Amino acid sequence: MPASSVRRIPHSAIHPVCPDEYPGFASRPVKPVTRGDLDHRLQTAALRGFEFDRSPADSHGRFRVVHIGETLDLWTRDFDFGRVIWPMWPFLFAENWREVIDELAARKLYLFDIWAYCPSGPFERFEWSEYRVTDEIHDYIRSKLGGRFLGYDNGEQDGRYIGGYAKLVCPAPATREQGWEAFRQYFTQLGNDLHNYLTALNSLTFPHYFAQMGNHRMLGAETAQALPSVPMWYALIRGAGKQYGILWFGNASVWNRWGAKDLSKPNAEDTNAPGYWSGPTSGTSMSLLRRLWYVLTMYGSVLMSYEAGQLGSAKEERVVNGKRKSLPVLTDIGREYVRGIAWCKAHPDRGELHTPVALLWDFHAGWAPPRHLYTGETFLVWGNMPYEKGDHQIDLVLRELYPGYPDAGFYHSEQGFLTSTPCGDSFDVLLSDAPQQALARYECIVVLGETKIEGELLARLAAYVESGGHLVASAGQLGHGAARLFGVEAGAAAEANHAMIPDHPWPINEPRFRYTRLTWNPGAVLLAHTRQGDPLVVSKAHGSGGSTLLFAADRMLSNPVCSQEHIPSELDQPISSPYALLEHVKAVLLPHLRRYSLVEIDGPPIQYLVNLTERTDRLVVTLCNNSPQTWTGSVRPRGPGIKRALNWMSGKRLPGRDGIRMTVPPLDVVVVEFLLDGPAFEVKR
Amino acid sequence: MRMTRRELVTLGGALAAAEIGPEGFARADGGAPSPAVNPVFLTGRKTDWPLRELAAAGFRGLELTPDCLEEGGRAAAAAGLQVVAVDALPELRPYLTGSLSDAVAWRRRSTLDRLRKAMEWMGAHGASYLIVAPSRQAENYQSAQDARALLVESLRDLAGAGPSAVLLEAAPFRLFDRASEIASIVDEVAKPNVAAALDLGHTLLAGESPEAAARTLGARLRFVHLHDADVRKGFPRLDRHGVPGTGSLDRGEARAAIGGLPFAVSVASPDDPVGAAARTLKWLAQG
């Protein structure tokens, strides 16, 4: 891609997702939560359940919630954990359930993600059970809480579906559409039980589908635990939010694959007595919980929480509003939580995450990472169909953007939950049904997977390029009429084992790969080719300032380099791939993607985010060091010089004119505000 | 590869010559036309099936699913095919359509109600076999013993619902996926019209040899499902209902397992349904 085809001062979308501005919002039967519903500020959640006078399961349905006021006081007044209540469902069936709702309404608290619905669990157990909310209960909650009722929990059900139900579909889907249909049926049932008034606490990579169903109010994820890599995952969640007009939240779990962090007795030894590990050193580490707070906040989460563990068993005397009270002590989790809330209050102008590049794949893809918690098998889409080459392409491109992302949940060291971001943490994922206005947010769109560029999608992408967008694809994705957009004509298939790349005099070696023979039309530019002159990468600048970049290699990948049979997935070991992303693809694509970042980072690999506000001379840069070694490097805004740099963690100014040199402690995060001597970007309206 | 009509007719003749066709099986089973084909699996559709082409390819019977009996029955009659069996597996999805051992009592009752209605229809239309399968164990609050007890109770309940045979078939990823378990449950039910079906793909997915599974089921075995599954090491185990020859199914084993029993082709191939069904028969007839 010629550098000249990328604007010198980029146009960046900084407008936050406002669901009520999306077409059709007024007529939606289930409206996504709006920023107005949340009082236009970050909300936080802590209380996870109410106390009953007896076990609901033993009470024949005659039980009451007790200590309602005291419980709410503890979590929202004695400790300012926030205004969002996140309870388990049985209170809905207590004799005095109205009292709970009335009290929440009187205190103007939020009711969020009522949890523990579990398919096939008998209702009478009042635990992990199926329950159906009556019209009476649902209508009462809505009438009393209005927009402050944020929905019932679609909690980790995508993982449950993939792990427990997808394989039971007989016969297994033969087409992706059938895979989607089976998935949809499961969630239609769940939605119907819960008044189609849901919040999605994702555990896998299906947030778009929940948003598309039209019965969800928010999207989020149970991060950490043994679940997917967060930078990759939130690229999907943010993309779904932007595509469908729905806000997202952040949550970090105290669980990992082996057990849960329990700091209630900080000096206790860990134990596996309950059948899993539990104790101060079990579960998610404090450093990961801390990093997740800041990363998820800077991703634009409108509601934040830690799953549990804020309060200890011991008590201490404290003065609250002039009264002495005996209260539980704060644990390290509680302290970090309070600190995180205070930090957000002190820095309300965090801006929007800069995500100039969208990765786009087919709506029916059903893509999931090559391995995850819910199955011991690998390389599946929809939980019951094997990866095709395009799915491997998605995986391998993501491995370049988020190195080691498939390790999340598989390593004791927690590697993979957060990763370095060589091209910046600056990508969202869209699906092929994204409307024109969703595409228009992005400076660049990379088409991945088994996506066919034809018909309506071709029309939308052509319009996108004509309005100045930059489009990247591979020849195998060209459908009827698409070649012309890329300035080529597609011919027969051929094979090669090398490539000539820019700025390098000799052929570079590649694993053998198939490619489409291309002839390029006037105006197109050849960026890589075979020794015999066959084009491998063709760029075309469009009059509008937009451009296209086409890779001839099939899905940008080699032919299979090994059999899937020889790719084990084991704990504390990486997983390889039966394909390789070609070297000439890396040589052209990755620099192209890095060009959209507004900062340059020099130093060892690190995760970095850039947040923007309306002030075009201001950048907020988050550096998350996911390594156990201190990170030392420099941050340099592209273009203008630095007038002032302020470390938001320490409150100290950082010296430097063209760039700042700084350190980030091991497994920690630093956020720096840059004020520049000129605009770093123009606001895209 | 799509087959021409001429090839299909030729294939029908080849099957008859190989005695893997209606004549051979009619003798063995007192009249249930075979081979049958499941058009719902084959096409991925509940209607609009290419039944005349399938009849031309040599199929004589049809296997339906419970949610398309009325329309399917009419279509079968119009194409000169007889409904031989009803495969209820797609209707036995825990949580969604329910199962015979569902821990949620109302859902199990509702499942049984639907299957009883299917059996009423089958009785009125001379369909011989209702094929059912065990469920998975519920995620919480259910032991394997509880699930088995509910399954046995459900099968006894269904046995009284009509003259058709209720055939229990092992299915992958469920609680009981081996022939010995199916045989044991059928024996425990102890009803004359409760017996077993054998699904060759499912058998492979359970790690069993089709021939050995058929032997284990012995006289309990009344009906066979023919399709392929890929059980190569390192690849995901999927109930994909492939065309035989594209997976791990051995022809000799398949032929031995089918023996003289009626069988249905239960291949899934929405892109080329007639070709896939015909290739299945051709594969079976070869050699």
pTM: 0.95
Nearest C-alpha neighbor of B244 from the set B222, B276, B271: B276
ipTM greater than cut 0.85? yes
A599-683 classified as CATH 1.10.287.110: no
- Domain of B216 in residue numbering reads as 5-285
Handedness of CA A402, A405, A411, A412 (dihedral sign): positive
Tell me the pLDDT tens digit for each residue of A564-617: 888 999 999 999 999 999 999 999 999 999 999 999 999 999 999 999 999 999
Alpha-carbon distance A52 to A58, whole Å?
Answer: 12
**CA of B232: how far to CAs of A218, A285, B228, in Å?**
41, 39, 12
Helix (H) or strand (E) holding A330, with range, is strand A323-330
Pick B136's closest partner by Cβ from A121, A164, A377. Answer: A164
Using the beta-carbon criterion (under 8 Å), do A565 and B102 form an inter-chain contact? no
Residue A42's Cβ-count burial label (10 Å; 0-12, 13-18, 19+) is buried
Alpha-carbon distance A208 to A1, whole Å?
Answer: 31
Domain boundaries, chain A: 3-12+355-594, 21-257+301-309, 599-683
Alpha-carbon distance A120 to A168, whole Å?
Answer: 14
**CA of A536: how far to CAs of A444, A471, A533, A559, A669, in Å?**
20, 16, 9, 15, 40
Alpha-carbon distance A178 to A424, whole Å?
Answer: 36
- pLDDT of A365 higher than 90: yes
What's chain A's average pLDDT? 96
Alpha-carbon distance B200 to B39, whole Å?
Answer: 18
Q: What is the pLDDT of residue B234?
A: 84
CA B217 to chain A, closest CA, distance in angstroms equals 22
Q: What is the CATH number of the domain that holds B223?
A: 3.20.20.150
Q: What is the pLDDT of residue B31?
A: 59
Per-residue pLDDT of chain B (287 residues), as tens digits, is 444 444 544 544 444 444 444 333 333 345 577 899 999 999 999 999 999 999 999 999 999 999 999 999 999 999 999 999 999 999 899 999 999 999 999 999 999 999 999 999 999 999 999 999 999 999 889 999 999 999 999 999 999 999 999 999 999 999 999 999 999 999 999 999 999 999 999 999 999 999 999 999 999 999 999 999 999 988 899 999 999 999 999 999 999 999 999 999 999 999 999 999 999 999 999 97
Nearest C-alpha neighbor of B96 from the set A116, A128, A191, A138: A191
Strand ranges in chain B using DSSP code E only, listed in sequence order = 36-37, 61-64, 82-87, 129-132, 165-169, 194-199, 221-226, 263-265
Among 2.30.29, 1.10.287, 3.20.20, 3.30.420, what is the CATH number of A21-257+301-309?
A: 3.20.20
Alpha-carbon distance A552 to A559, whole Å?
Answer: 13
Report the CATH fold assignment for A3-12+355-594: Rossmann fold (3.40.50)
Tokens of B191: 């009803």
Query: In chain B, what is the straight-line distance between the N-terminal and C-terminal CA atoms, in Å?
Result: 21
Kind of pairing between the strands at A470-474 and A444-447:
parallel
Pick B96's closest partner by Cβ from A178, A186, A379. Answer: A186
Contacts A–B by Cβ distance under 8 A: 109
**CA of A494: how far to CAs of A525, A532, B244, in Å?**
21, 12, 32
Tell me the pLDDT tens digit for each residue of B97-133: 999 999 999 999 999 999 999 999 999 999 999 999 9
Nearest C-alpha neighbor of B215 from the set B196, B201, B232: B196
Q: Which residues of A touch chain B, with CB atoms under 8 Å apart?
A: 118-123, 125, 127-130, 160, 164-165, 167-172, 174-175, 178, 185-186, 189, 377-380, 384-386, 563-568
Cis status, amide bond into A370, omega within 30 of 0: no
Tell me whether the CATH fold assigned to A3-12+355-594 matches the one assigned to A21-257+301-309. Answer: no
Q: What torsion do the CA atoms of B226, B227, B231, B237 make, to the nearest 10 degrees?
A: -110
Using the beta-carbon criterion (under 8 Å), do A563 and B105 form an inter-chain contact? no
Instruction: Return the number of other C-beta atoms located less than 10 Å from residue B55's C-beta.
Output: 18
Tell me the pLDDT tens digit for each residue of A623-632: 999 999 999 9
- pLDDT of A187 higher than 50: yes
Task: For helices B179-189 and B210-217, give the axis angle rounded to 10 degrees.
Answer: 20
Residue A428 bridge partners (DSSP): A358
Q: What is the pLDDT of residue B18?
A: 43
Tell me the pLDDT tens digit for each residue of A200-217: 999 999 999 999 999 999
Using the beta-carbon criterion (under 8 Å), do A174 and B268 form an inter-chain contact? yes
User: What is the Cα B31 distance to its own chain's centre?
Assistant: 18
Question: From A379, which residue of chain B is nearest by alpha-carbon distance?
Answer: B236
Q: What mean pLDDT do residues A425-452 have?
A: 98
CA A182 to chain B, closest CA, distance in angstroms equals 10
Using the beta-carbon criterion (under 8 Å), do B103 and A379 form an inter-chain contact? no
Using the beta-carbon criterion (under 8 Å), do A120 and B232 form an inter-chain contact? no
Using the beta-carbon criterion (under 8 Å), do B239 and A171 form an inter-chain contact? yes
Q: What is the pLDDT of residue B33?
A: 77
